[in-house]
Structure 1
Amino acid sequence: MARYKEYNYDQMKMIPVAFDRQILPGSFEYSLSYLIDHELDLTSFDRHYRNDDNGRPAYDPRLLLKIIILAYSKGITSSRQIERLCRENITFMALSADTQPHFSTLADFISRAPEAITDLFSQIVLMCDQLGLIGKEMFAIDGCKLPSNASKEWSGTHAELKKKRQKIDRAVRRMLQRHQEQDNAELAPDIQAREKEQIKKLRAVSRKIKHFLDTETERKGISGKTVKSNITDNESAKMKTSHGVIQGYTGVAAVDSQCQVVVHAEAFGQGQEHGLLKPVLEGIRETFVDTASEKQLKKTQITADSGYHNRGMLEYLEAEGIDAYLADTGFRSRDPRFKDHKSAKERNKRQDKERFSQSEFAIDRKSETCRCPAGKIMWLKARRARIGHHLFMQFQGYEHDCNDCGLRKRCLRNPNQPTPRQINVALDITQEQKAGIIERMKRKIDSPKGRHIYSQRLGTVEPVFGHITDAIGIKRFSLRGKRKVDGQWKLMMLLHNILKIHRYGWEWA
């Protein structure tokens, strides 16, 4: 018969714990504690306190900052979970000196001081520069879309939200009418109570939507068009990601190519990245102003993907004399390394499902002839027709051939259209377009030097986002409002840079 060791819960074991010996040299918490206590200026946090003469003494910002950054390094952003760690985890107990701050204190400290966090982030960047962790040869700029503390179900234009409110009001009226009709009927008390509670909730939702429509104006995008607002957080945006549609913010980061140190970070409440490059570049310049590195930045190369490519941005970069490499939407198709790459399938499969594509027409540019899939000759409508800044060779079918053709349904978008099928063969672009700023950027990035520089972008900036979201595990913002979310995004990038200092900057780490 099996035998087991005896155990007894009716006993006690006293374990002495020296908090100063729990923070061991070489550990991240040791680097964090030393950095905050001896290297950083935290006086920017002092203006949030007004208890010089009266009031209860506050927790030291250094203490709270150590706890929060250590919790963020473990993927924990919930203030309640951080409070529990300070009660149960020996490392957090040691770092907090067993003070056990309340979760509301931690939450308030993060949300009310985004400007102080911005100042702290700049200090860390300059420290990385002093330690030689920033090479200033190339800055890669990109954005990471993360959901915020707002539901996309509360998004919509003012017209859509008004329609939603009317639908809720109709539902409430129907429920009240049904109650009046069934006053004499015997209904179970639990059913009546549940329906009354539902009516109360729907009315509250209706009042919330009405208050938002009365107090908030229609939100406009960069192009001036109306975009969806959000009742919970109107500064956030509804945006598409690889994981579906989210309600959140785009966290943009500029990353140095040497050690992947983030030199600037900012959160924006928009999914489109057009127009976001300029504030990032101005933020980098502001960080290094009045330093010896400011002149070196003029030689730094800037790389960004096609999301930041537009005429206005290229004109700004050229006027400022910035050596930038911005890919356009056709960059990969011009790359000879991707000549065998299959193009993406049409997203709208219903449209043009069986329609003949241009590749199915036999086109000979030299002899200037074209034959349709039915074997009929098409006549040359124009040798060099200009459409916008592009030049085309145009062919069109004969009416008597198209009218009686059995493949008419597969050739024309609308079988009832009176005009025959026309084919536009791209030849070239106009001279003024060749001399334009967009073509100059294309020639620059298509050169061997340009492709070599741009190829470093992906391996520079994307690992930073992977480090925060996958390795550490922070996958969303927990605050609302651009100001607070921007502070939290800078706090995440601040953590990333402190980890760089811990790994490569300190000799004793």
Structure 2
Amino acid sequence: MSRFRPIDRQTDYLLPPSVQDWLPESHLARYVVDVVEALDLSALTRAYAGRGSDAYHPAMLLSLLIYGYATGTHSSRRIERATYDSLAFRFIACNQHPDHDTLASFRRRFGAQFADAFVQVLQVARENQLSRFGTVSLDGTKIHANASRHSALSYGHAEKIEAQLKAEVQEMLKLAEAADQRSVPEGVDLPAEIRRREERLAAIAAAKAKIEARAKERFEREQAEYEAKMATRRTKEATGKKPGGKPPKPPQAGPRAQDQINLTDDDSRIMKVAGGGFEQCYNAQAVVDTESMLVMAPHVTQAGNDKEQVEPMVARIQALPEGLNQPQRLLADTGFFSEKNVELCQQGDIEPLIAAGRDAHHPHWLDRFEEPAPLTGPASHVEQMRHALKTKAGRAAYALRKQTVEPVFGIIKSVMGFRQFLLRGLENVRNEWTLVCLAWNLKRMAVLRPQ
């Protein structure tokens, strides 16, 4: 006869008397608490006025958020529930239960301070010699905004709806002024219907104003680029050289019919996503250390194109503390390539290895063992980079890009489950992305630490 372990739900059990006995020594929650409580959080603690009931300590709330994001629990309501259901969350919360409003308010109120904690954690990694931070990879990934693309409104469609609503309001006003209202259907409240349409008209007017402001900024930017290109052509013509290509077309002022704004999160944008199609997204950028796979600089932009992101990301790296701010080499794919970006890296004493084009699929196997002929004569920085990418050492270095920054995005999305921002607005989204990358770094550091 088979023997089974008894099922007994009636016997009373006691948890260990100390929270220190709840988790094994190597548990991620312990590591998160140890690191966070060693950080300088004086900027957070000073923000509390001391009025009312005693507040939860910022170190505990920050640890709950970091561990939550690291383990796929992003919602403040789920984190609150986990402080009852999960021993790890109970350990972090010291058997207390901050409610979801407290957690959500802390995340919104102190989002700007997450960047300081992020930098301090990188300093901890450097002090523990987890990496030399010599070669870094740059890439971007589209992450869904907390808004649907079906909530987007184009300028052309807004004008059609606006005209229709204005006509309906005029029709209802005439009916309301008429002495005989027998043509009004039964149950129709004309003042309420008029008020509802006037509110929609006000919302459409605000949306159109924002689209027009964006169109003005775009025109000023495009006009400056147009004038710079024309100045370059005139300089070439003055030296007797014929400028190549057709003359650039001057930009058109004013909004276009297809210009859109999202009524839920007007800072998000319609972007092309992997696998085809378009979604309401933000473009999340990250500079990743190739040795440790730690994120060194997170950023979020509204631009769907990556080409203009090298300059702000290099600036973010160089703003880091001593020992973190001077990588020797930057790897990036062809979406980041431009002569301007190559020159920018060279000026910052960073060797760029940015793919200047897409490689052919299935090259001959001997190509992997060939070395290009050395450069003869003076060569531009772009030509030097192209040559370096063809060498064995350059190909081996560039190959690190795919096995560092792309796996980081894959783990963040698939393992940590972060595929959509919870917050809205560009600044809030940037703060949340910093929190996500902070959680990833601590998760990664827990693996890299000496056991």
Q: What is the rounded CA distance, in whole Å, between the counterparts of 2:169 and 2:11 in structure 1?
A: 61
Higher mean alpha-carbon deviation, 233-242 vs 463-472, is at 233-242
Change (3 A) 1:8 1:461: closer
In structure 2, distance between residues paired with 1:465 and 1:126:
22
Distance 1:250 1:474, change over 3 A: same
Alignment partners' CA distance in 1, 2:350 and 2:175 = 69
Equivalent in the alignment of 1:108: 105
- RMSD value over aligned CA atoms? 3.6
Question: Among 413, 423, 427, which residue is 1:483 paired with?
Answer: 427
Is residue 274–residue 310 contact of structure 1 (8 Å, CA) maintained in 2? yes
Kindly provide the CA deviation profile for residues 134-167 of structure 1, in whole angstroms up to 9, marking residues without a partner as x.
2333211001110112232343554543334334
Partner Cα distance (2:384, 2:435) in 1: 38
Contact 1:133 1:261 in 2 (8 A): no
Amino acid at match of 1:208: A
Tell me, yes or no, if the aligned pair for 2:175 and 2:184 is still in contact at 8 Å: no
- Cα distance between partner residues in 2 of 1:166 and 1:279: 42
Which residue does the alignment assign to 1:45? 44
Residue aligning to 2:373: none
| CA distance 1:89–1:203, change in 2 (3 Å) | farther
Q: What corresponds to 1:88 in structure 2? A: 85
Alignment of 1:251-270 (within 5 A): 251-270=284-303
Q: Is 1:208 aligned to residue 241 of structure 2? A: no
- Displacement of 1:231 in angstroms is 3.6
* TM-score normalised over the length of structure 1: 0.68
Residue 65 of structure 1 corresponds to: 62
Which shifted more, 163-172 or 56-65? 163-172
Change (3 A) 1:207 1:335: same
- 1:505, 1:8 → 2: CA distance? 40
Number of aligned residues: 395
- Kept after mapping to 1: 8 A contact 2:211/2:261: no
CA distance in 1, matches of 2:128, 2:117: 17
Asked if residue 26 in structure 1 is aligned to residue 29 in structure 2, the reply is no
Q: Structure 1 residues 336, 98: closer, same or farther in 2, change over 3 A?
A: same
After TM superposition, give the deviation of residue 117 of structure 1 in Å: 0.4
Kindly indicate which of the two structures has a greater share of residues assigned to strand.
1
Give 3-state SS (helix, strand or coil) of 1:276's partner: helix
Please state if 1:327 is matched with 2:360: no
Query: Quick one: which amino acid aligns to residue 332 of structure 1?
Result: D
Alpha-carbon deviation of 1:240?
A: 0.6
Q: Distance in 1 between matches of 2:361 and 2:12?
A: 71
1:265, CA displacement in angstroms? 1.0
| Farther-moved stretch of structure 1 (318-327 vs 151-160) | 151-160
Confirm whether residue 120 of structure 1 aligns to residue 153 of structure 2: no
**Would the aligned equivalents of 2:299 and 2:430 in 1 still touch at CA under 8 Å?**
yes
Distance 1:448 1:15 in 2: 62
Q: Output the CA distance in 2 between the equivalents of 1:85 and 1:468.
A: 20
CA 59–304 in structure 1, closer or farther in 2 if over 3 Å, else same = same
Match of 1:316 among 344, 347, 356: 344
Contact 2:141/2:285 (8 A) holds in 1: yes
Amino acid across the alignment from 1:67: L
1:493 aligns with 2:437: yes
Which residue identity is paired with 2:213? E
Question: CA deviation digits over 1:345-375, x for unaligned, max 9?
Answer: xxxxxxxxxxxxxxxxxxxxxxxxxxxxxxx
- How many Å separate the matches in 2 of 1:199 and 1:172? 6
Evaluate the alpha carbon distance shift between residue 457 and residue 186 of structure 1 in structure 2; reply closer, same or farther with a 3 A threshold.
closer
SS at structure 2 position matched to 1:287: coil
Counterpart AA for 2:27: S
Distance of 2:309 and 2:54 partners within structure 1 = 42
Partner secondary structure for residue 266 of structure 1: strand
| Aligned-partner Cα distance in 1 for 2:70–2:192 | 43
Amino acid at match of 2:20: D
**Quick one: distance in 1 between partners of 2:194 and 2:364?**
62
Confirm or deny: 8 A CA contact 2:35 2:121 kept in the other structure: no
Give CA deviations for 1:259-294 in whole Å, capped at 9, x if unaligned.
211111111122111211111112112113xx3455
Match of 1:472 among 416, 425, 442: 416
Whichever of the two has the greater Rg, that structure is 1
Structure 2 CA distance, aligned partners of 1:482 and 1:106? 20
Distance 1:23 1:214, change over 3 A: same
How much has 1:74 moved relative to structure 2?
A: 2.2
Q: 1:198–1:476: structure 2 CA closer, same or farther, 3 Å change rule? A: farther
CA distance in 1 between counterparts of 2:193 and 2:169 reads 9
Partner of 2:240: none
Name which of 152, 159, 163 aligns with 2:160. 163
Deviations 1:381-413 (A, max 9, x none): xxxxxxxxxxxxxxxxxxxxxxxxxxxxxxxxx
Q: Contact between 1:317 and 1:323, CA under 8 Å: does it hold in 2?
A: yes
**Percent identical:** 24
1:98 to 82, 91, 95: 95
- In the alignment, the residues of structure 1 paired with residue 119 and residue 358 of structure 2 have an alpha-carbon distance, to the nearest angstrom, of 34
Do the aligned partners of 1:141 and 1:302 also contact (CA within 8 Å) in 2? yes
CA contact (8 A) 1:256 1:460 kept: yes
Q: For 1:188-337, what aligned pairs fall within 5 Å after superposition?
A: 203-214=198-209, 217-219=212-214, 220=217, 223=222, 228-243=260-275, 244-288=277-321, 291-292=322-323, 294=325, 297=326, 300-328=328-356, 330-333=357-360, 336-337=363-364
Tell me, in whole angstroms, the C-alpha distance in 1 between the residues paired with 2:345 and 2:362. Answer: 24
Q: Are the equivalent residues in 2 in contact too, given 1:112–1:484 (CA < 8 A)?
A: no
SS of 1:48's partner is coil
- Secondary structure of 1:33's match? helix
Deviation at 1:444, TM superposition (A): 3.2
Contact map agreement 1:147 1:476 (CA 8 A) in 2: yes
Q: Distance in 2 between matches of 1:103 and 1:135?
A: 39
Q: Please report how far the alpha carbon of residue 310 of structure 1 lies from its aligned counterpart in structure 2 after TM superposition.
A: 1.6
Tell which deviates more after alignment, 107-116 or 171-180: 171-180
Contact 1:175 1:199 in 2 (8 A): yes
Q: Which runs of 5+ in 1 are unaligned?
A: 1-6, 340-433
User: 8 Å contact 1:235–1:481 — kept in the other structure?
Assistant: yes
